[in-house]
Amino acid sequence: MCGNELSDRKKLILRSIIEAHIETGEPIGSKYLTENMQIACSSATIRNEMAELESLGYLEQPHTSSGRIPSDLGYRFYVDSLADSYALATAEIDGMNELMKVKMHEIDKVLESASKLASSLTNYTGIAIKPRPASAFISRFEIMYLDESNFIIVMLTSIGSVKSRSIHSDRELDRDGAEHITDCLNACFAGLSADRITLPIVMKFENMMTAFSSLSQTLIKSVYEVMNEINGGSLRYSGIDHLLRYPEFSDMSRLGELLEVLERQDDILSIVSDNDKEDISVYIGSESPVKVMNNSSLVFKAIKDKDGKTVGAIGVIGPTRMDYAKVLSTISSISGNISSMLEGGSALGKGGNNLLGEGDNNDG
């Protein structure tokens, strides 16, 4: 159904029921609407309209109540056609401005901070997602020389993160030797996804290492470790305790099933990684391919860099009785600010500069 069959009065009543139910968590009856929602109709007229909305699938009637609650279809129509834009309060805008002031060098940390902000502003569980890339690779290697026995290999990945590994050398190493190792790594592995690193390429690397061939296996292991990390995707949460505030999650077995999905990560990572929408994605209740999320909604927005490549996503998880207008506005504003940061290069460092910039960060 697309909602074309709904009159303006039905749309007004449906919207009023949804917004009242979001606020109270209770089934909404005609008396509540006439007394609190300023609908200029008689109770009898409202009851008839509510019955028709139920027959069309937009409302449901709990067995223990004469009132109605929105169905997943009702919420979907509300999100797509009825919800007003939410005006962010000054304090909420200040929170976003504080996020933008923080100079960070890894998109993972930018997304995690954004997830915490989304959770605090909406009172739902915030999520920071690094999707599974189709063919991630290390785009550039650099080495931070420490002393004659130790250095750090720094790897800028194609998904915008910076990874590093500390390496100990039994052979004395000077700065020229470190530069030689950097050249070997870039010549053999930069720009190649894991499935393109073949045995001949590994052998070429070992031959190029010459006097430092004893480090070859350690360096190759580090490269593969990072490849596995950046191709696996990750999911982090903020404010899981917010779920406990809502009666929808008072059933501990139901809450336990949802927490298991969040812990396992694979299901939600698949939803995000397989989604190519430019706009905010909203999965309401039974729309989700994850069965145990039938009483939950997942809202997220992909974050793209200046080249249009998806580097992550932020969003929230909460009950289907979610304040969608506020959530959509919050996610839109935060994601827009992050995109602006990425376009300006403040989150990842400027091209051509040292990857770590000021405030060196070692991700061991």
pLDDT in tens, 159-196: 778 899 999 988 888 999 999 999 999 999 999 988 78
Q: What is the pTM of this model?
A: 0.67
Residue 336 domain-assigned?
yes
- Is 203 a residue whose pLDDT tops 70? yes
Which percentage of the chain shows pLDDT scores above 90? 44
Per DSSP, the residues of 201-256 read HHHHHHHHHGGGGGGHHHHHHHHHHHHHHHHH-EEEEE-GGGGGGSGGG-SHHHHH
**Is 119 in the same domain as 209?**
no
Q: What is the distance between the alpha carbons of residues 300 and 327, in angstroms, rounded to a whole number? A: 10
* One domain for residues 128 and 249: yes
Does 362 fall in a domain? Answer: no
Instruction: Say which residue, 195 or 23, is predicted with more confidence.
Output: 23
Q: What is the pLDDT of residue 90?
A: 67
Q: Is residue 188 assigned to a domain? A: yes
Is residue 76 domain-shared with residue 214, that is, in the same domain?
no
Q: Mark whether 119 and 242 lie in a shared domain.
A: yes
Terminal C-alpha separation, the chain: 52
Q: Is 292 a residue whose pLDDT tops 90?
A: no
Summarised one tens digit per residue, pLDDT across range 223-261 is: 988 887 777 677 889 999 999 889 888 888 888 888 888
CA distances from 1 to 5, 159, 258, 284, 325 (A): 8, 39, 29, 15, 22
- pLDDT, position 171: 85
Residue 268 pLDDT exceeds 80: yes
Domain count for the chain: 3
State how far Cα 350 lies from the chain centre: 24
The answer to whether residue 14 sits within a structural domain is yes
Annotate 151-207 with DSSP letters as a single string: EEEEEEETTS-EEEEEEE-SS---HHHHHHHHHHHHHHTTT-BGGG--HHHHHHHHH
Pair 193, 265 in one domain: no
Task: Look up the domain containing 335 and give its range.
Answer: 90-132+233-344
339 and 201 both lie in a single domain: no
CA distance 212 to 178: 10
22 and 157 share one domain: no
* Domain CATH for 157: 3.30.390
